[in-house]
């Protein structure tokens, strides 16, 4: 995706040099496999599933071309995040703290905390909804899930946690299978995917920002850079990090489009959904009970993965912003703030998710909030990836810089339009 060399410079501010003997290519690939796939798949969380399913039920296949463009943007953004982590050995918030004024760093961390707090709640709500599909009460499932998520991260190390995260990612295979079982029109899917089009309405623009917010979520970029740095994958291994990053982003959006296709084939044009589980139940008449089971498995795996990654990314960011120890491989004594914040987020998220009521509006609104915050985070990433004193010769090349800038500007414009529409709606102007 990039047209710049990746050999690090030397000297102050340049990327860290690689150390030791270069590994054989296949071993290097195994060493770095994971962060890109995990970060991208975590975006297909409970709120994402609800948003994609709602897109299919409300607009049928009409959002597929938009999702194709969003896939390109996701690849660009995740690649920049991974490159920053691999070539500097630092997470995004560390770099923002070092490269920007204190007020800018504080603004970035506040945006992240506001967005992620609601997301943690939605992930545990998604776990509860998934278990309810299988007849298990969320009041039993959510507390058990919270303990398991906490134990995987706090009592293990990075490599162990990553293996668990990769295992959970296998659940996403359920969605492409569900899309096939729903028997969509191949011609309609192809036309809507490849032919530029859109529905110019307030509802479509609102959903478009929600789709961007849930697909290019800020915590994904934060986790991507921090996880690459935490694993110690350096500049000499970046080629394999890049493969993992691009593959993960494409796979994640294939899953996203499969959710849209499955619900569009089953209930397209019926209006927005009231719950993610409703999408699973809607598939039963056209694909049988197996489709509902597959949808439930996917929802459970997605929610459990994001329930670990969202608070983990938040903990990375806060610890990096304050310049204190942060690593999954550290103990509570070695990284008290990092582990303590992760624990607090898991506890609060699980507790709030147990409050009676339908949380679907929270899920969708959180994706729109992420859509507003995403351009802010992406602007920081773009500036960092353009700075030679940060990346040396691995900075964005001229062509890549243009593509990345266009992605960030377009996302910012869409978010601004929806923000203006939302505010105007509060005063009855639209």
Q: Mind listing the pLDDT tens digit for each residue in 193-217?
A: 988 877 777 788 888 888 887 788 7
Q: Rounded mean pLDDT of 328-350?
A: 85
Q: Rounded mean pLDDT of 283-301?
A: 68
Give CA–CA dist 152/170, Å, rounded: 17
The domain over range 32-426 is classified in CATH as 1.20.1740.10? yes
- pLDDT-derived band at 146, boundaries 50, 70, 90: very high
Residue 397's CB is within 10 A of a number of other CB atoms, namely: 14
Question: For residues 178 and 304, is the Cβ–Cβ distance under 8 A?
Answer: no
Span 225-246, pLDDT tens digits: 887 777 766 777 788 888 888 8
**Which pLDDT value is given to residue 266?**
79
- pLDDT-derived band at 14, boundaries 50, 70, 90: very low
Question: For residues 153 and 314, is the Cβ–Cβ distance under 8 A?
Answer: no
**Which pLDDT value is given to residue 9?**
43
Residue 293's CB is within 10 A of a number of other CB atoms, namely: 17
**Which pLDDT value is given to residue 66?**
92
Give CA–CA dist 284/181, Å, rounded: 10
Find all residues with CB under 8 Å of 48, minimum gap 6, and list them.
Answer: 214, 215, 256, 302, 367
Q: Is the dihedral of CA 380, 110, 372, 313 positive or negative?
A: positive
Give CA–CA dist 370/212, Å, rounded: 8
Residue 99's CB is within 10 A of a number of other CB atoms, namely: 16
Judged by DSSP in three states, 280 sits in helix
Residue 168 has pLDDT above 90, yes or no: no
Span 373-392, pLDDT tens digits: 788 888 999 999 999 999 98
Residue 315 has pLDDT above 50, yes or no: yes
Question: For residues 76 and 407, is the Cβ–Cβ distance under 8 A?
Answer: yes
């Amino acid at each position: 995706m990039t047209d710049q060399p990746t050999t690090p410079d030397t000297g102050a501010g340049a990327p860290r040099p690689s150390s030791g003997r270069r590994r054989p290519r296949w071993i290097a690939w195994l060493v770095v496999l994971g962060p890109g796939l995990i970060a991208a798949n975590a975006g297909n969380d409970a709120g994402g599933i609800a948003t994609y399913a709602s897109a299919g039920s409300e607009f049928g296949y009409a959002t597929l071309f938009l999702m194709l463009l969003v896939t390109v943007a996701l690849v660009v953004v995740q690649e920049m995040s991974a490159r920053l982590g691999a070539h500097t050995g630092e997470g995004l918030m560390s770099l923002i703290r070092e490269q920007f004024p204190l007020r800018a760093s504080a603004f970035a961390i506040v945006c992240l905390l506001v967005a992620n707090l609601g997301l943690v709640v939605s992930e545990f709500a998604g776990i509860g909804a998934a278990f309810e599909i299988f007849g298990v009460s969320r009041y039993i499932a959510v507390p058990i899930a919270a303990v398991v998520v906490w134990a995987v991260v706090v009592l293990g190390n990075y490599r162990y946690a990553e293996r668990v995260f990769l295992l959970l990612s296998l659940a996403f295979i359920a969605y492409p299978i569900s899309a096939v079982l729903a028997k969509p029109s191949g011609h309609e899917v192809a036309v809507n995917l490849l032919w530029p089009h859109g529905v110019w309405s307030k509802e479509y623009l609102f959903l478009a920002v929600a789709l961007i917010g849930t697909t290019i979520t800020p915590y994904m970029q934060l986790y991507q850079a921090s996880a690459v740095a935490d694993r110690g994958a350096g500049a000499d291994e970046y080629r394999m990090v890049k493969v993992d990053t691009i593959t993960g982003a494409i796979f994640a959006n294939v899953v996203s489009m499969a959710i849209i296709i499955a619900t569009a084939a089953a209930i397209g044009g019926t209006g927005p959904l009231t719950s993610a589980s409703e999408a699973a139940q809607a598939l039963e008449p056209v694909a049988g009970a197996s489709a509902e089971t597959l949808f439930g498995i996917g929802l459970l795996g997605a929610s459990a993965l994001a329930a670990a990654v969202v608070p983990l990314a938040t903990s990375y960011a806060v610890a990096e912003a304050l310049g204190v120890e942060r690593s999954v491989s550290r103990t509570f004594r070695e990284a008290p703030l990092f582990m303590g914040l992760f624990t607090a987020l898991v506890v609060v998220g699980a507790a709030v998710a147990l409050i009676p009521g339908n949380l679907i509006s929270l899920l969708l609104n959180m994706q729109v909030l992420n859509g507003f915050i995403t351009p802010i985070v992406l602007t920081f990433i773009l500036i960092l990836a353009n700075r030679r004193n940060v990346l040396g010769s691995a900075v964005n090349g001229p062509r890549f810089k243009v593509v990345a800038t266009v992605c960030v500007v377009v996302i910012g414009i869409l978010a601004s339009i929806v923000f203006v529409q939302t505010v105007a709606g509060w005063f009855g102007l639209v």
